[in-house]
Structure 1
Amino acid sequence: MKTCFVVMGFGKKTDFETGRVLDLDKSYKNMIKPAVEAAGLSCIRADEIVHSGVIDVPMYDQLLKADVVVADLSTSNKNAIYELGVRHALRPYTTIIICEDGFKVFPFDINHITIRQYHHLGEDIGFDEVMRFREQLTKAVKEISENSSPDKDSPVYTFLPALMPPEIEVVRAAAVAATVSPQAPQPPAAPDQTHSALMQQVDDAQKKEDWITAKALLSTIRNMINEEVKRKQAGATVKVIDQPEDPYLLQRLALVTYKSKFPTEKDALTEAHHLLNLMNPETSNDTETLGLWGSVHKRLWEITKQLSYLNEAIRAYKRGFYLRNDYYNGINYAFLLNARAVQLTDHAEAITDFINARRTRIEVAAICEEWFEKNPMPDEQKLTPDILSDYLKTWYWVKASQAEAFVGLDEDDKAQAALNAAYAKAPETWMKNSTEEQIVKLKTFLGDSPLKFITQ
């Protein structure tokens, strides 16, 4: 069977051009892998490779030998762009470039190459778009994999036509010779499971709300990656610059850590604080990091009632909202402004927070309305259970945020209608309970409005 190697990021990544967070695993599992397999090729991504030692070896091997490479450049992923360059240097053809349509400015070196685009909702991809792009990608993979004389798609071989690509069989023979050489260092034993398999166990644990197991698994993955980095540094002939840890892994580990409430809730929140602090949240433009930083400090404020935690949470949600212009950061920012307004002794400051909360909710309500217009409820009979579940979770939080915005704007009829619609489709009971708890607190804050200090 012919093979396809997929070059792309893993998990949720922030597109700093638009401020959106894209779940790249949804792109891979819902669109790319099914499309490639429908074309008759086996499909693998770097996190699915079973390997011993440093991952670079099998990754470069795949970039050289794979019959087809699909490179997804969404979120301007640096690793994906670099690996695409390696592929273009090694093979004159059979490389397909794709990306999410929010990517507006392509690097000069690839802006004249055919790039197939798809539409991503952020947390998920719409069913119709999944089916459209699957069909397009399957057709493209079939065409280039079955063509005995494919057109060159590498700019390296296009502009240097006399250049000869490396002979794959020669490279393979050299690699085999190196592994049997008595001088060659022996690699450590192969890992029992791939990164992808472990992450799937993390997903399963989170669905069961088994936060302690999810934390243990993520800690194992983190240790594996750190050990691999140490092996690279030990084998380097020159000093290697220390690299920051993968933000997606740290974000997920921080999330399950504070959700675990172990050994105590405050201890778990403090540990999550330290994990997130590794990503410099005070200056970060990563809205996922800012959202988690806000959540951790919001809860620390609720437990301790310390104003410093509340201020830090407000700062994080405010920054996240203005960077991303999204309902999640916006609705939490507005909520905490009202929470602070009832505590401030300076009446002018309290009134300012109250007014800013209202202004933010007006924006949030508009953002939610726009989301519903762009992502109408699909025919549920046509969706797979996984795609339907993902869509409904996002739909629920948008509708709940819209309802909360209406509550804060004193639009009671709209608020109740939105809440009824949200509760009717809540995928999980805890989501409804979370919304109800937040709105009860909000109504308490609104009932103690600082506008009473305004004199005629």
Structure 2
Amino acid sequence: MAQHPLCFVVMPFGIKPDGRGGTVDFDAVYADLLAPAIREAELDPLRADQELVGGIIHKPMYERLILSDYAIADLTTANANVFYELGVRHAVRPYSTVLVNADINRPPFDLAPDRAVRYKLDRSGRPADPAADKAPIVKSLEAARDALTDSPVFQLIGDLSRPEIDRLKTDVFRERAEYSVATKQRLANARAQGADSLRDEERRLGRFEDVEAGVLVDLLLSYRAARAWDDMTRLVESVPEPIRRTLMVREQYGFALNRAGRSSEAERVVQELIASHGPSSETYGLLGRVYKDRWDKERAGSVLKARGHLDKAIGAYLRGFEADWRDAYPGVNAVTLMEIREPGGKDQRALVPVVAYANRRRIDSGAPDYWDHATRLELAVVGGDREEAMAGAMAALAAVREPWEPGSTANNLSLIREARAIGGVVVDWTDEIERELVAAASDPTAAARP
């Protein structure tokens, strides 16, 4: 089969705020609208992994951005990375770049003269009518085949020399792009086999300096799915410095250190992240988990020391929730630990409705993940609502991505049950939920799920 020209897609990843109180599901925009349009225009879609490496653009990213025959840039939400990459593309490619934008806003002034193809979003932030909106994108890509100039740089500076793109270099780039896709597929297959298979794939990669950053991060998260904490820490300590220093990788490093029993090192890493990047729900959530694990370890020994760790854990989770009220995960952890410290206390009663509201907003957004459903479950158990807890449990079990996730929730339910039992309250209807969560945590196939 003949190869089609590559079309590189420059856009945010995941679900992002739209600036109006809603969200945009960029993964759905790519999968349901842009990729099908590119294929209909007889091009091969290629998407970067910039979200996985904290926005740092490495050599493979530049190669894809500059050497792809065609490119689409999604200007929705005026994402800084997208505009930077579009600027690079316009500076070296006189033509074959198509702009798109959702109908929720207009492109900034500097790009107003350029025609951006508009597409519609529904209330959940997904393409509202991809069949209809696909046609003008296909038409624009087809027109780009004959365009002489669509870059404002080359339009405004008519005598600017046009760079020569070495075809041999482009062919090497294509092979590398296909290699990355194949490697990621092998990693997905290896996750189902466990840590040993992932180590085999790691050895196949060779020198980390020659490996695309997205592949290395994919390997890191694959080790996390396999609960190979020591492999995670070893990998982070071995990858090139620009990748190792990104926020996301450092967060995963702290997570793995704590899971590997290296609590003091984990605390140091997370505290450094808070000092350098400011408070966030993720970093304070990690710090809360460090203190929570210390409390769990000490509670069979020193009562006072254990209580100190418990108070620090609650404080860290509260700061994480205060850093981003939209993320209910650190909030529900604070609620759960308050249940242990003082069931039904004043602070807990004040916090529960706020966390419940944030959780409901996330679920109603149309793109909840495992932790959103697990939060719903834990809040229902704290509130003694059996029907709501069962609904949350069913949704959570259907959304499991990695086996450690239901294991963490089962542990929290166990802690709530123990605290209630000390107070003479028996909540036996949670036993079935705990058993299901424990079974899901023992399911090795969960590591292979996307």
Q: TM-score range by the shorter chain?
A: 0.5 to 0.7
d(CA) in 1 for partners of 2:148, 2:139: 14
Q: Which residue in the other structure is 1:336 paired with?
A: 337
Deviations 1:136-179 (A, max 9, x none): 46862563244444496545456x3x53453232x759x99xxx
Q: 1:422 to 1:144 in 2, by over 3 A?
A: closer
Match of 1:324 in 2: 325
CA gap 1:220/1:415 in 2 versus in 1, 3 angstroms: same
8 Å Cα contact 2:96-2:144 kept in structure 1: no
Q: State the shift of 1:438 in Å.
A: 1.2
| Aligned mates of 1:91, 1:33 — CA distance in 2 | 21
Aligned pairs for 1:78-93 (under 5 A) are 78-93=80-95
- Alpha-carbon RMSD: 4.8
Deviation, 1:250, is 1.3
- The answer on whether the counterparts of 1:400 and 1:418 sit within 8 Å (CA) in structure 2 is no
SS in 2 for 1:86: helix
AA aligned to 1:204 is: S
What amino acid is the match of 1:198? L
The structure 1 residue matched to 2:158, chosen from 163, 167, 177, is 163
Q: Count how many residue pairs are aligned between Structure 1 and Structure 2.
A: 369
1:278 aligned residue (272, 279, 282): 272
Which ranges of structure 1 fall in alignment gaps of 5 or more residues?
Answer: 49-53, 177-188, 227-244, 343-350, 376-390, 450-456
What letter corresponds to residue 421 of structure 1 in structure 2?
A: M
Which of 366, 379, 385 in structure 2 is aligned with 1:405? Answer: 379
Query: Relative to 1, partners in 2 of residues 1:112 and 1:216: Cα closer, same or farther, differing over 3 Å?
Result: farther
Does structure 1 retain, via aligned residues, the 8 Å contact 2:243–2:249?
no
Alpha-carbon offset, residue 361 of structure 1: 1.9
Asked if structure 1 preserves the Cα contact closer than 8 Å seen for 2:73 and 2:98, the reply is yes
Amino acid at match of 1:425: A
Is the Cα contact below 8 Å between 1:362 and 1:405 reproduced in 2? no
Matched, 1:439 2:413: yes
Structure 1 residues 369, 84: CA separation in 2 closer, same or farther (over 3 Å shift)? same
Taking the aligned partners of 1:38 and 1:435, their CA distance within structure 2 comes to 44
2:348 to 357, 362, 378: 357
- Runs (5+) with no aligned partner, structure 2: 51-55, 171-206, 299-304, 424-450
Q: 1:292 to 1:112 in 2, by over 3 A?
A: farther
Contact 1:70 1:98 in 2 (8 A): yes
TM-score normalised according to structure 2 size: 0.63
Please tell me whether the aligned partners of residues 14 and 286 of structure 1 are also in contact (alpha carbons under 8 angstroms): no
Partner residue, 2:8:
5
Shift of 1:280: 2.1
Structure 2 match to 1:247: 247
Q: Say if 1:143 and 1:421 are closer, same or farther in 2 by CA, change over 3 A.
A: same
Percent sequence identity is 27
Give, in angstroms, the shift of residue 79 of structure 1: 3.8
* Secondary structure class of the residue paired with 2:42: coil
Distance in 2 (alpha carbons) for counterparts of 1:319 and 1:63: 39
Higher relative contact order (CA 8 A, sep 6+): 1
SS of residue paired to 2:379: helix
Q: Distance in 1 between matches of 2:332 and 2:249?
A: 26
1:151-190 → structure 2 map (5 Å cutoff)? 154-156=151-153, 160=156, 163-169=158-164
| Distance change (3 Å), C-alpha of 1:359 and 1:118 | farther
Distance 1:120 1:215 in 2: 41
Partners of 2:377 and 2:393 within 8 A in 1: no
> Any residues of structure 2 matched to 1:132-147 within 5 Å, and which?
136=133, 140=137, 143-147=140-144
CA positional deviation for 1:82: 2.0
Whole-angstrom distance in 2 between the partners of 1:324 and 1:120? 24
Relative to structure 1, the CA distance from residue 225 to residue 205 in structure 2 (aligned partners, 3 Å threshold; closer, same or farther) is closer
- Per-residue deviation at 1:219? 3.1
Question: In structure 1, what is the equivalent of residue 214 of structure 2?
Answer: 196
- Matched-pair contact (CA < 8 Å) for 2:328–2:372: yes
Contact 1:20 / 1:324 at 8 angstroms: preserved in 2? no
Shift of 1:246: 1.3
Cα pair 2:101 2:107 within 8 Å, conserved:
no
Separation in 1, partners of 2:295, 2:105: 40
- More divergent stretch after superposition (355-364 vs 23-32): 23-32
TM-score under structure 1 length normalisation: 0.62
Residues 33-85 of structure 1, C-alpha deviation per residue, up to 9 Å, x if partnerless? 6664554334445669xxxxx97666556544433223356786544322222
In the TM superposition, what is the alpha-carbon distance from 1:247 to its structure 2 partner?
Answer: 0.7
Question: What SS class does the counterpart of residue 273 from structure 2 fall into?
Answer: coil
Kept in 1, the 8 Å contact 2:209–2:239? The answer is no
Alpha-carbon distance between aligned partners in 2 of 1:143 and 1:361, rounded to the nearest angstrom:
51
8 A contact 1:361–1:408 mirrored in 2 = no
Aligned to 1:414: 387
1:215 matched residue in structure 2: 233
Partners of 1:118 and 1:311 in 2: how far apart? Answer: 48
The answer to whether the Cα contact below 8 Å between 2:97 and 2:144 also exists between their aligned partners in 1 is no
Which residue in the other structure is 1:452 paired with? none
1:6–1:69: 8 Å Cα contact kept in structure 2?
Answer: yes
State the partner residue of 2:69. Answer: 67
- What is the 5 A alignment of 1:22-33? none
* Displacement of 1:441: 1.7
Quick check: 1:315 aligned with 2:289? Answer: no
SS in 2 for 1:71: strand
| Closer/same/farther in 2, CA of residues 370 and 211 from structure 1, 3 Å limit | same
Alignment partners' CA distance in 2, 1:223 and 1:406: 44
